[in-house]
Amino acid sequence: MITANTGLWQTILPKPSLHRYLVIELKDTEFMPEYIGKLNFYCSAVDDILCREGDNRTIGLLLCKTKDRIKAEYALRDIQKPIGISDYELG
């Protein structure tokens, strides 16, 4: 499933070999800490609605144009889900 909003692309991919889903959120802006809260929300919803018994927790991946490492570390510090942040460069 792929959804698109202004400045946001979001993809939910099933990963059968890992028995989990992968939520990828692509932002066309620099990283903002509140993005983690939203991604955490999306992962929780996928875990609750799509996952079946025996599935592992959903992985969240946030891709932003740029990120400040310190802000990213603080934003992820108390998050208990497998969520990661990366920046990207279009070539």
Query: How many Cα atoms occupy the beta-carbon half-sphere of 81 within 13 Å?
Result: 27
Helices (H), the chain: 34-49, 69-76
In the predicted structure, residue 20 carries a pLDDT above the cut 70: yes
CATH number for 13 = 3.40.1350
pLDDT band at 59 (very low <50, low <70, confident <90, very high): very high
Single pTM value for the model:
0.80
Nearest C-alpha neighbor of 50 from the set 24, 20, 76? 20
DSSP label at 7?
Answer: T
For residue 36, what pLDDT is reported? Answer: 96
What six digits make up the tokens of 28? 């066309």
Q: Stretch 65-85: mean pLDDT, rounded?
A: 95
Q: What is the residue range of 17's domain?
A: 2-87
- Cβ proximity of 81 and 40 under 8 Å: yes
Q: Looking at the 3D structure of the chain, how many domains does it have?
A: 1
